[in-house]
Each structure stands twice: as C-alpha cells, then as structure tokens.
Amino acid sequence: MTNARGDQAKLFLRRQTVFGTAAAAGDGKFLSLPFYRFENAPKAGLEEDDAIYGDAHTGDAVDGLRDAGGSMEVPLGINSIGWHLYGLFGAPVTTGAGPYTHVFEPADTIVPVMQTAGLSLMDVNQHFLQDTLTYMGMQIAARKNGQRARATFDLLAREETAGGVILDNTPVTYSPDAVPVGFVGKVQMDGGDVASVTEFNATIASGTELDQEAMNGLATGAAFNTGRWALTGSIAARFTNRTWYDLGAGTTACTLQLAYDLGAAGSLKFLFRNVRFERSGVPITGRDVLSTSFNWRTARPEGGNAPLTVTLVNPTADYANPT
C-alpha cells in the first residue's frame, strides 16, 4: 500500500468571483505554487443532543457547522509572493515595462479576495477542493540566517470537498522565482540602516470572519464579514544606545522597513509608517551581550499615506488569473 507523502503534494489556486461557487477545473486555468506547509483544515462540529429518553445513554450525535480554517507557509518568491499579496490586499498598482513595480496597500474598505484551492496528493491519486478561500492575515519573521525567507498566511474557506480528479494537469508556474535568503534582509528606521536589530517580526490582520449567523439554510457560511486592519510586531535588538528605549518611553512615531534586494532578479520591501513602540526595559540576564525586545504597532494613517506599503519589483507583468 502506498503512503501519501508531503513532497508529492501539489497546491493549485485560482481566483473565483461568486461566493460559494468554485472556479471550474481546466488545464492551464490554475497556478501551481510552492509551499512549505498547508494546514487549512476542514472543520465540522459534532454535538450531543440532550433530549430526555428515560435512560442514561448518550444523546444522538448532531452534525454542526462546517468551514475550513488554518494557515499556509510559503517562500518569499520574488514572483510568486505577489499572488499571495494580492490575496490579502487586493490588486496592486502596477507600473513599468519590465521590470514591473507592484505596490500593495491596505484598503480603506476591505473587500475579501476569493479563491478556489486544490490540494492533490499525487502518489495516492487523492484530490481535495476548497472553495471561497480568502486570506485573513500574514506573518513575517525575519532573521539573519541561511534559510530561505518565508511568510505565513492565515486562511479561511467556506467548505472542503473530496474530488475525483486533479483540477489542472498543466498548471501555470512562476519560473524563475528567486527566493531571498535570511541574511539578505535589512531593517531600516526612518530611512537609515539599523545593524543592531537581530529579529524583525510583523503581523498583518484584516479581521475578516466567516458569517455563520445569517440563516442561509446551509451548514456552511453565508458570506464574509470584514473587520479592520491591525498591524503589529516586535523587534529584538542588541542594546547599544537608548534609541529603541526612548521610542517606547515617549510618544514619537517612526517608520520601519524590512527589505530584501536581489539585484536584477527583483526586490521586496515592507514599509510600516506611524509606528509606535511599547515601553520596555533592558533585562540583564547574564554576562553576555545584552539584548532586548520591543513590541510595536502602527497608529492611524497620517498625511494621506497608508500605514503599510509593500513594494514588489520583478519580471511579472500582472497577477491576473491564468487565461
């Protein structure tokens, strides 16, 4: 008997237009994207009915509400990451004639981008489909190391079903798709390099939820309820002066940028504006170099600037669905 292996799994994605209606299968219609893990698991409640029958036996099992929720981790591929950013922020503003510059920003009004996802376990010929999948948030953890940079996206889908066939036998791929290594990352504050930073973490959340209250006659959700953006994170830094300490102790805001520059292959930059730091001290835990961690969050946008601008430069002309 053949065992399913993770290295034989394929992930397919295509945007869909109607809530609850998956994109149709077809060769050349879906993207096949690399990933480190996909854990957007289907869920269904199973409750005990408490009707009284005059005995001590358990009640009947009653099927509950259904959805799929979890996350996936993907490489920061200089081309493929644009598809995922589109899934979270919506369509970018694209300029240039090759290389192209794609600018993503949190919108004033959140409109969830809906996708159809296919997960195929090729070695055991088993295929699963998730319809009306949307991205709820994103986490980045940057460190100086020899590991390829990656991001985690929080996911939510209306329903998962087991299908009989693969969605796409000839999917579209992004190739080449250079991925920066951790040590390429650079952190800047107010436009200047900050060499003392040893870790940079950021969480971007939209607050989107599945509406499981509207009475649509189904066990699955009726729509997406949108929330509001939250941009938070933390940095860890060696203590060389009071720069970070004073930012936490005062009321001054700053900009923070995480940048990956791959030269001719492209670049990816996350610029957070109007960043405020929580107050934190400098713990002395031993005789070695002193480090400390500071939490931060962005305040409301000022001067017409979005609290976050993601700038992606690459050879990809656009992020429309494959034809």
Per residue in 171-205, pLDDT tens? 999 988 999 999 999 999 999 988 889 999 999 99
pLDDT of residue 246: 86
Q: What is the mean pLDDT of residues 242-267?
A: 91
Task: Report if residue 104 sits inside a domain.
Answer: yes
Task: Report if residue 118 sits inside a domain.
Answer: yes
Reported as a pLDDT band with limits 50, 70 and 90, residue 45 is: confident
pLDDT of 15 above 80: yes
Q: What is the mean pLDDT of residues 234-258?
A: 88
Task: Report if residue 323 sits inside a domain.
Answer: no
Residue 132: in which H helix or E strand, if any? strand 126-143
Is the bond into 99 cis (omega within 30 degrees of 0)? yes
pLDDT of 164 above 80: no
Q: H helices within 22-93, ranges in order?
A: 81-89
- Cβ proximity of 49 and 60 under 8 Å: yes
Task: Report if residue 267 sits inside a domain.
Answer: yes
Residue 66: in which H helix or E strand, if any? strand 61-75
Task: Report if residue 271 sits inside a domain.
Answer: yes
Closest alpha carbon to 88 in 203, 259, 219? 203
Task: Report if residue 89 sits inside a domain.
Answer: yes
Distances (CA, A) of 225 to 13, 55, 109: 22, 43, 12
pLDDT of residue 301: 83
Domain extent for 85: 6-51+59-314
Number of compact structural domains in the chain: 1
